Structure 1
Amino acid sequence: MAYDFKAIETKWQKRWAKDQTFRAKQPQEFEGDPKPPFYVLDMFPYPSGAGLHVGHPLGYIASDIYARYKRHKGFNVLHPQGYDSFGLPAEQYAIQTGQHPSSTTEINIEGCLDNKGKILDKYVEDNGKIKNSALIDKSKETCVDEDHYQSNVIKGYRKQLDKIGFSFDWSREVRTSDPNYYKWTQWIFIQLFESWYDAKAQKSKSISELVNIFEKEGNIIVDAAADEDTTSFSASEWSTFTDDQKEELLLNYRLTYLAETEVNWCPALGTVLANDEIVKGVSERGGHPVSRKKMKQWSMRISAFADRLLRGLEDLDWSESLKETQRNWIGKSVGAQLKFPILPFPKGKENTKPGYMTGGNNAYTLIEKAKENRNQPTEAEKTLWIQLRGKKLSGYKFRQQHLIGDYIADFVCLLKSLVVEVDGEYHNETKAYDEERTQFLNKKGFEVIRFKNEDVIGNIDEVLEKIKTKLDKLPAYTKMAKPSEESKVKPLSIGEGQGERIIEAFTTRPDTIYGVSFITLAPEHDLVSKITTLDQKEEVDAYVKASAKRSERERMADVKTISGAFTGAYAEHPHTKEPLPVWIGDYVLAGYGTGAVMSVPCGDQRDHDFAQHFGIPIPNVFEGIDISKEAYTDKSNATKIANSDFLNGLGVLEAIPKAIEALANMGQGAKKINYRLRDAVFSRQRYWGEPFPVYYINGLPKMIDEKHLPLKLPEVEKYLPTEDGAPPLGRAQEWAWDTEQHQVVSNAKIDHKTVFPVELNTMPGWAGSSWYLFHYMETENRDQHIASKENLDYWNNVDLYIGGSEHATGHLLYSRFWTKFLNDKGVFPVDEPFKKLINQGMILGESAFVNTFTIVFTVDDKENNNNLKETPKVLKVLLSNDLGDLNIKKREYIESDYISNEIEKIIQKAEEICEFENKNQSDKNGQIVYMGLTNVKRRVDVSLVNTSNELNLDGFKTSPFGKEFKDAKVIYNESGKLLVSREVEKMSKSKFNVVNPDDICEEYGADSLRLYEMFLGPLEQAKPWSTAGLSGVHNFLKKLWKLYFPPNSQGDEGQDFVVSDEHASKESLKILHKTIKKVTQDIEDFSFNTSVSTFMICVNELTQQSCKSREVLEPLAVLISPYAPHIAEELWELLGNTTSISEVDYPVFEEHYLKEDSKTYPISFNGKMRFTLDLSLGLSKDEIEKIVMAEERTQKQLDGRTPKKVIIVPGKIVNIVG
């Protein structure tokens, strides 16, 4: 009986589905003690396109082999699958195809075919054509043809996965876009919002505990992860805050919070991107430009977990390279945080302080800005100043655009401490800032009175009367009020309550403090706009704008470009008190450390390059080191510090603590541990994502009660993103929360009393994938919990996780963060999600390219004085790749007769075309004027190329990318074929090199595909795909089949199943157990490629022995079943078994079968081997010699001679000398 893989694979895939063969049991389902659990998981796919290509199943096949192996070894294996169906990939596919994301997601998962392979009626139009939504390539005209396989119809991820024969437990399927699933994503978000991080205890705790602490002690001694600029307050002050003020303060501590942050903005995608979603300055998906922009966003305080995330790596069975990637991303640095006060005035301006000075240390810069404001007043400011200047108002002197602290007041009467402010058209946007400013001025002893533009312009008399009334009531100024320690308000930046400006910088080398010659700020640093002088403003603004167009990754990677701008401001060196120029440079990142660097050009190469480029001094603090050409970056303790006062002569290890101690004593520094890891931006301005369970009261976020979850994604008329950042949910008509009815209602009902607006952003794609592994553990009560305690305790976490390394700093880090958090909260029993992780390599595609030439020429008809040069002619040529290139040199004229009449002959060979240059016969009427030639290697869909690299020309000419060549002339090779060239690169639809696994399964079978993907090379390495190699593994399966259906005596294909119960030969058992040993070790080592080779050797050897013994062939079927499960199941059933082979115990290796009891000795004469002889290993030397000498072949070699001696090495050789 022939090996009918199609019938076999269809049969067993249906049987597995019907019997739920791979459904994992829950612990409570076992009658006695449950089997030991083993959890195997793949990174679930995005259903974001028309289906899988052969690169996608690589990791799935590897995990499936291991899952099947562990079942054979007696484990209760959980091997689930689902879909990461929310997020950018799925939404981008929907946008590209002009459909709704929910529709494309369903089609991409379920497909458009029924179980019999027929196109579902709902995807067929009345005229018989297939609807565009069901097609992979919308440009192909496709009609329903019951007898034709619809290769252009979306089969669906599920059907594709089933066709490969994976042992997934589909009863546990999840989809992140299912409201029943994302209900729990929203629930986790709420838990994060209601929690803070106790840095001392290294644990997440309830926000209510933090409130209790604030009520008793304030926040002065709380060691919590919080925003850097969080205000200090006492318990008594806390009690005076309003509820809204308390909520604002608590946002500084919550593990998910709203904040104005610098984000990566992608206008083309219309959303914010995380750092790990950007590659080389463009979006990972689509390759669109990304710039930096400030936006109010939800963020996750992952930075609080930095140390735990770092320490946790030590216990994980992950590759060292992947762990190192995460270590670098987390980026722990031990050093010091220093304070550099900004000097009030630049060099040369020290004595220009005005007489009535109420400004702070940033006075000079603000004076420049005040001058600018005075020169460009608004109409209202101009109107009011005309009435106030020159003591016109009852003799009271007013000053215009006057400094108070670090604020510029519109008008101030110092005698009465009255500030008059005119609120412009942007007052609503700056309301919070204006209130903060008023509070500060009040604390300084100033009364503030405000007017709107329209008040001043429309009724100036009434305005002046109000000012006069206020002036008359106020007492005369005696002394500027100073705020007490208890009355400090929230600062805008460090020390602003005292009118100070301080730059804080983190360094790992405080020992080089005397080498600092300038300060560099990130272009996005908050201080840049506040300290830049008027003279430098234009240059700085331009630089800031340019830097915003470069991603952080690009800026970090680009070490060659040197750029920067001087702010005009200076900071003070803590020891020497010398002024240090403050620059901005894009090699400094706002999100790392403080966004400021104390630049030491002698000890840092980027600082050195910067200083040399801009002519900044480079002081040397290293004894005996030449730093004239490059920085000295060695941290060896042998190098001594020099030119550094009290640090002179010390090594690095001694100098660092001493430098920190000195800074701490001065109040200008302290030891600090810093992390590169930044809080994760959690908002996306997209439609297809989890809605936030948040509504707003007075602009502050409130959580929807978890019992009313899920908050479902609303319908919107247009779901496309916007370039200005307005979220698509802003188009929803019903997107308001009724706090009494506890439901979503019409926006028209918003009254800010009981009905409030809902958050318009959605969660990022990584939200649903950060916890999905735990939901797989639950089957019955998914609406009640993520998973029951019993199931969580039984399954624990993932034993083996397989997926791509591109998720190292994204999904894997976020999932670890959420797991640790939910472990803190008592939800999960573990604090790590994945024990062992393997990153499968990439299967590369073999792209195909056809050699195309475009020749442009015109006809010049001289005899008729008719110049036709204005109508150029184009000749398209396709050239077989093995013929090389056309080489046409530039020429003036080519005779037209030859072109017009003999064109077919010209293009037969490339050499003939080259001969144009030598032909110029003047007796012809017209001449060809050659204008140019373009050679392009055009991509060709690999489906149009056979395994011999021959192009299907008809298919190419009718394809979308070959239509322009439908009339092209073709130069075939000598065999009459048009060959393409090949290039190995990433497999991608955009490169037309995608190979569909369905086609492979159709032609060779799923078992062949599974074996071949493993056979390509080591799992973790990249390897090129070549369909030509499939025939080898397919022939192997045929050979395996023939072991059980041996050919007849005439060599014809066997029809009978021939397996005997006779005892196997010793040699057959030896082959079997050698294979068991090797394959078992290979599976444990994930060396699946060498297992396939071992199977091939085993089958070849057993075939040579004509082995028919059940004793060998039955365990062989079990042994190969993880790799080729369909053929193994069929053989197992033919062997008379009634249960699935997947439930059978794995073959046990027995060492004694490999022990040798005989040896094939090489018999040599005078060192030359003449024949071999099988002898027992138990024979003595004398016995060996006696048998060898008695051998007829020995006597024939000796030819009557007597040997001088016989050399015998037992178990190795016999050499007869003489």
Structure 2
Amino acid sequence: MSRYVPEDVETKWQRIWEEGGHFHVEADPSRPKYYVLEMFPYPSGRIHMGHVRNYSIGDVVARFKRMEGHNVLHPMGWDAFGMPAENAAIKNKLHPAAWTISNIDSMRVQLQRLGYSYDWRREIATCHPGYYVHEQRFFLKFLEKGLVYRKHSPQNWCETCGTVLANEQVIDGCCWRCDQLVVQKDLEQWFLRITDYAEELLADLDKLVGGWPERVLTMQRNWIGKSVGAEITFPLAAPLGGTDGADGITVFTTRPDTLFGATFMSLAAEHPLVASLIAGKPQEAAVTAFVDKVRNLDRIVRSADDLEKEGVFTGAYCVNPATGREIPIYVANFVLMGYGTGAVMAVPAHDQRDFEFARKYDLPMQVVIQPEGATLNAASLEAAYVDPGVLVASGEFSGMQNEAAKSAIIDWLDGSGRGKKSINYRLRDWNISRQRYWGAPIPVIYCEKCGIVPVPDVDLPVELPRDLALMPDGRSPLPHAPSFTDVACPLCGGKARRETDTLDTFFESSWYFARYASAREQDRPFDPAELAYWLPVDQYIGGIEHAILHLLYSRFFVKALRDCGLIAFDEPFANLLTQGMVIKDGSKMSKSKGNVVDPDLMIGKYGADTVRVFILFAAPPEKDLEWSDTGIEGASRFLSRLWRLATEELAGLLTPVAPCATAESLGLDGLPPLFAELRRREHATAAKAGADIRERFQFNTAIAAAMELVNFLYANVEALRAEPKGAKAVSSAVGTLLAVLSPIAPHICEELWQSLGHKTLLIEQPWPAHDPSALVTDTVDIVVQVCGKLRGKISVARDASNADVERAALAEVNVVKHIEGKTIRKVIVVPGKLVNVVAN
């Protein structure tokens, strides 16, 4: 055969696979299914090495599972809405639709050039009306069930992006997309009641143990943030009792055992009572200025332990329901409206934040928990005491251990109507309104007479108009387009106005995995029979950065759709693999760092198979991968050696023998021991590579096993060629080698498989079934110790007697050295494992 030219080989087989529809798949209840999915990309216009790693991992799994007999669904699509398209379109004077579609076309070609086994007939793009019409129906279904609502409240606002952000999209106080500092802005927005599912989202994480990385499970548990405690009402002191209908301030606390030590109240700047508490008081101006200052602080900063605690007295008081004492009400910068009730009973003797605040403003402290065998004095405390102890100065509860006192005080509060047991979650409802153009329109209409009116199903989809000029500053043109906004009310026929906010793009990505099951359904989002067969996803693959955002939202979406009667499963992804980053020069690849490696250049220089081998061999999937020019050169040399082995070194010997052929069919009798050893190594390679891929996704060690077999064949080429009767054994070993490598480097393996004379395609072959008996060797390696210290290793017949093993051990060169001049007291033989010589 001619020399190895990767591009020729790869484009040839990509064309054959596509024309033959070899990766097309249909539901088949008679076969076990396997749904493998990588997180779909945003169509930026170019794939990067992170994409290559993610999709190469998924392709190995898909091809391997197909070889194991599964009916494999492996689709691809595009997360096509979002601000980057809009911003790029403004910059390049293009429409976001044109920019997005062009990028999709380019990226599709790039992915196809890598030979991924996608069923491209199922391709989706979330910006297509045929896709988002279904999520508009989901929105209206959720609205009907009360899962969607609209409210006016302070929201996370990114000035650069010109839109609100959900809490999950604020990372360390900054926008998750542009890193701009997030501020608070009062807006009326649409929300999804994800908090209605907080307990189920938390409990069902237990179902994912073993299938999801523990790190992701922990992140979600922490984000949901379940706390068990009490709600306690502190009545407002006269003359404010009943102000604006409020009889008191309700707090949530996990420490009801410290109630008797509450000496002041801290409110969030956004608390609705603040305005009425300060009205007409001398403190009104100071408090208003402080509130304005604090409201624009990021919530992450406000909750940080190292934040300097600041506050201002409102001039009002409330009453501690346990002691009857009036306590002052402050507005404090570390209290958040988004957690609990936005009010905190301050117990400075037993909470460090309250302690720092009380010291700064000279507020009283009351010790109510004493450590065993010690006495604390509030005046001499250097820090809050937060450990367990015995209650003091706590009325009838004094003398109780504080843990036992928690439930006792809750019962007392409940019985007296002053409080009750309560569960609180950190999780907040999901803000799904976005003030940008390039997104799915929210399908509601506002009528002065009828209020909020859902768009009738017959009028769906509400299509995003593509004839609008974009605003240079990024603001949405929708509110300024009468052709879009001005409509007749579906109920009364009067003048009405269409909603101009679009849906958060995570709305699209929270159900796309279900759409793949029947991607061409027009009148419904999915065919129930197809959905029941394919879902949930068996193996999901993507970055750890989506642990909270996409993964949590998708879990909620599935449960909400289930409760709407649209699906019948509880969790979207049975198993999750979070691959590490691709880094170069010690940091993640990025244009700003100037360390990007272009996949197209690497494919052009080395071929797709080489890029795949390197990216899978360089590190286990869950670890970060350090890009290495020498590493990809090494992968290229390995595939070139594989090519030469089959087309030159063993030319004339190779015939179309099935991988891992039986010993009887190979005719090993009468052949040198080398051929038995070749068969053992062949079957060991199939066994190890299969287990590495199937059980651990350790593609690097699977490749290493194949490399060892290649090295063995090269080392023994002359001896193998000298025995023509061993041709079948050599052919079986090479066939097994190609089958094992085919999920990783499919093109070269398919070409070499054909060169062996096979009439069927390699992708149609099952995974080589190793013979366990072939792995058993006639010898066994035994370690030899002298007085318990390792001094050598011997190889003996598996059925050697203890006496023979002892003789071999005592003859080992290094053992002889260490017993020279000594008297052997005892020789201990552990059959098949070790020999210990006791000598002095």
Is 1:83 the counterpart of 2:33 in the alignment? no
Tell me by how many angstroms 1:187 deviates: 0.7
Secondary structure, aligned partner of 1:834: coil
Tell me by how many angstroms 1:1184 deviates: 8.4
Give the structure 1 partner of residue 13 of structure 2.
Answer: 12
Choose from 710, 713, 720 the match for 1:1102. Answer: 713
Give the structure 1 partner of residue 162 of structure 2.
Answer: 270
Secondary structure, aligned partner of 2:328: strand
Give the conservation status (yes or no) of the 8 Å contact 1:520–1:596: yes
Is 1:572 the counterpart of 2:314 in the alignment? no
Deviations, residues 1086-1127 of structure 1 (Å, cap 9, x unaligned): 122222222222211222122561221112211111111111
Give the structure 2 partner of residue 361 of structure 1.
Answer: 241
Tell me by how many angstroms 1:996 deviates: 0.9
Give the structure 1 partner of residue 758 of structure 2.
Answer: 1137
Query: Which letter does structure 1 place at the counterpart of 2:144?
Result: E
Query: Which letter does structure 1 place at the counterpart of 2:115?
Result: G
Give the structure 2 partner of residue 581 of structure 1.
Answer: 328
Give the structure 2 partner of residue 1152 of structure 1.
Answer: 773
Give the structure 2 partner of residue 508 of structure 1.
Answer: 254
Secondary structure, aligned partner of 1:1021: coil
Secondary structure, aligned partner of 2:576: strand
Secondary structure, aligned partner of 1:194: helix
Tell me by how many angstroms 1:727 deviates: 4.3
Give the structure 1 partner of residue 601 of structure 2.
Answer: 999
Secondary structure, aligned partner of 2:483: coil
Deviations, residues 302-358 of structure 1 (Å, cap 9, x unaligned): 11111111111110121111111111111111111111122235xxxxxxxxxxxxx
Q: In percent, how many aligned pairs have the same letter? A: 38
Tell me by how many angstroms 1:1063 deviates: 4.7
Tell me by how many angstroms 1:1187 deviates: 11
Tell me by how many angstroms 1:516 deviates: 0.6
Tell me by how many angstroms 1:582 deviates: 1.2
Change (3 A) 1:652 1:1140: farther
Give the structure 1 partner of residue 90 of structure 2.
Answer: 95
Task: Please provide the CA RMSD for this pair.
Answer: 3.3
Is 1:631 the counterpart of 2:384 in the alignment? yes
Tell me by how many angstroms 1:46 deviates: 0.7
* Higher helix proportion: 2
Choose from 223, 229, 235 the match for 1:335. Answer: 229
Choose from 313, 337, 341 the match for 1:594. Answer: 341
Query: Which letter does structure 2 place at the counterpart of 1:696?
Result: Y
Tell me by how many angstroms 1:173 deviates: 0.7
Tell me by how many angstroms 1:643 deviates: 1.0
Give the structure 2 partner of residue 522 of structure 1.
Answer: 268
Secondary structure, aligned partner of 2:570: coil
Give the structure 2 partner of residue 842 of structure 1.
Answer: 581
Secondary structure, aligned partner of 1:662: helix
Change (3 A) 1:1182 1:570: closer
Secondary structure, aligned partner of 1:171: helix
Choose from 1009, 1015, 1019 the match for 2:621. Answer: 1019
Secondary structure, aligned partner of 2:321: coil
Tell me by how many angstroms 1:542 deviates: 2.5
Give the structure 2 partner of residue 35 of structure 1.
Answer: 31
Choose from 90, 112, 119 the match for 1:169. Answer: 119
Tell me by how many angstroms 1:762 deviates: 0.5
Tell me by how many angstroms 1:186 deviates: 0.3
Give the conservation status (yes or no) of the 8 Å contact 1:1044–1:1059: no
- Structure 2 length-normalised TM: 0.88
Give the structure 2 partner of residue 67 of structure 1.
Answer: 62
Deviations, residues 110-152 of structure 1 (Å, cap 9, x unaligned): 1xxxxxxxxxxxxxxxxxxxxxxxxxxxxxxxxxxxxxxxxxx
Give the conservation status (yes or no) of the 8 Å contact 1:1016–1:1089: yes
Choose from 484, 496, 499 the match for 1:756. Answer: 496
Change (3 A) 1:1152 1:548: same
Matches within 5 A, 1:807-1206: 807-846=546-585, 984-1047=586-649, 1058-1059=654-655, 1063=667, 1065-1083=675-693, 1084-1106=695-717, 1109-1158=730-779, 1176-1180=797-801
Query: Which letter does structure 1 place at the counterpart of 2:590?
Result: S
Tell me by how many angstroms 1:1059 deviates: 4.6
Distance 2:157 2:84 in 1: 17
Query: Which letter does structure 2 place at the counterpart of 1:535?
Result: P
Change (3 A) 1:721 1:573: farther
Aligned residues: 791
Give the structure 1 partner of residue 173 of structure 2.
Answer: 281
Unaligned runs of 5+ in 2: 658-665, 669-674, 721-726, 818-823
Give the conservation status (yes or no) of the 8 Å contact 1:1072–1:1098: yes
Deviations, residues 675-715 of structure 1 (Å, cap 9, x unaligned): 11111111000000000111112272111122321110013
Give the conservation status (yes or no) of the 8 Å contact 1:686–1:721: no
Secondary structure, aligned partner of 2:701: helix
Give the conservation status (yes or no) of the 8 Å contact 1:689–1:764: yes
Matches within 5 A, 1:290-369: 290-316=182-208, 317-345=211-239, 361=241
Give the structure 2 partner of residue 105 of structure 1.
Answer: 100
Query: Which letter does structure 1 place at the counterpart of 2:31?
Result: K
Distance 1:800 1:615 in 2: 58
Change (3 A) 1:686 1:611: same
Distance 1:763 1:1112 in 2: 56
Distance 2:62 2:323 in 1: 67
Query: Which letter does structure 1 place at the counterpart of 2:708?
Result: I
Deviations, residues 996-1024 of structure 1 (Å, cap 9, x unaligned): 11111111111111111122222112232
Distance 1:606 1:1161 in 2: 63
Distance 1:504 1:1208 in 2: 76
Give the conservation status (yes or no) of the 8 Å contact 1:1045–1:1057: no
Give the conservation status (yes or no) of the 8 Å contact 2:682–2:733: yes
Secondary structure, aligned partner of 1:734: helix
Tell me by how many angstroms 1:65 deviates: 0.8
Tell me by how many angstroms 1:90 deviates: 2.9
Distance 1:823 1:697 in 2: 31
Give the structure 2 partner of residue 3 of structure 1.
Answer: 4
Tell me by how many angstroms 1:1164 deviates: 13
Give the structure 2 partner of residue 878 of structure 1.
Answer: none
Give the conservation status (yes or no) of the 8 Å contact 1:518–1:598: yes
Query: Which letter does structure 2 place at the counterpart of 1:9?
Result: E
Matches within 5 A, 1:447-486: none
Distance 2:148 2:656 in 1: 68
Give the structure 2 partner of residue 643 of structure 1.
Answer: 393
Tell me by how many angstroms 1:575 deviates: 2.5
Give the conservation status (yes or no) of the 8 Å contact 1:1071–1:1102: no
Deviations, residues 1129-1173 of structure 1 (Å, cap 9, x unaligned): 1122222233332221111122211212135899999x9x99999
Change (3 A) 1:773 1:1187: closer
Give the structure 1 partner of residue 435 of structure 2.
Answer: 685
Tell me by how many angstroms 1:843 deviates: 1.0
Tell me by how many angstroms 1:593 deviates: 1.2
Give the structure 2 partner of residue 557 of structure 1.
Answer: 304
Change (3 A) 1:779 1:26: farther
Give the conservation status (yes or no) of the 8 Å contact 1:601–1:618: yes
Secondary structure, aligned partner of 1:616: coil
Give the structure 1 partner of residue 672 of structure 2.
Answer: none
Change (3 A) 1:1104 1:731: same
Give the conservation status (yes or no) of the 8 Å contact 1:269–1:721: no
Is 1:714 the counterpart of 2:709 in the alignment? no
Distance 1:1206 1:277 in 2: 70
Give the structure 2 partner of residue 616 of structure 1.
Answer: 363
Change (3 A) 1:1028 1:1186: closer
Give the conservation status (yes or no) of the 8 Å contact 1:1118–1:1128: yes
- Structure 1 length-normalised TM: 0.61
Give the conservation status (yes or no) of the 8 Å contact 2:335–2:344: yes
Secondary structure, aligned partner of 1:1002: helix
Deviations, residues 207-260 of structure 1 (Å, cap 9, x unaligned): xxxxxxxxxxxxxxxxxxxxxxxxxxxxxxxxxxxxxxxxxxxxxxx2101110
Change (3 A) 1:78 1:625: farther
Distance 1:759 1:79 in 2: 37
Query: Which letter does structure 1 place at the counterpart of 2:58?
Result: S
Q: Which moved more, 1:1179-1188 or 1:768-777?
A: 1179-1188
Give the conservation status (yes or no) of the 8 Å contact 2:290–2:312: yes
Secondary structure, aligned partner of 2:390: coil
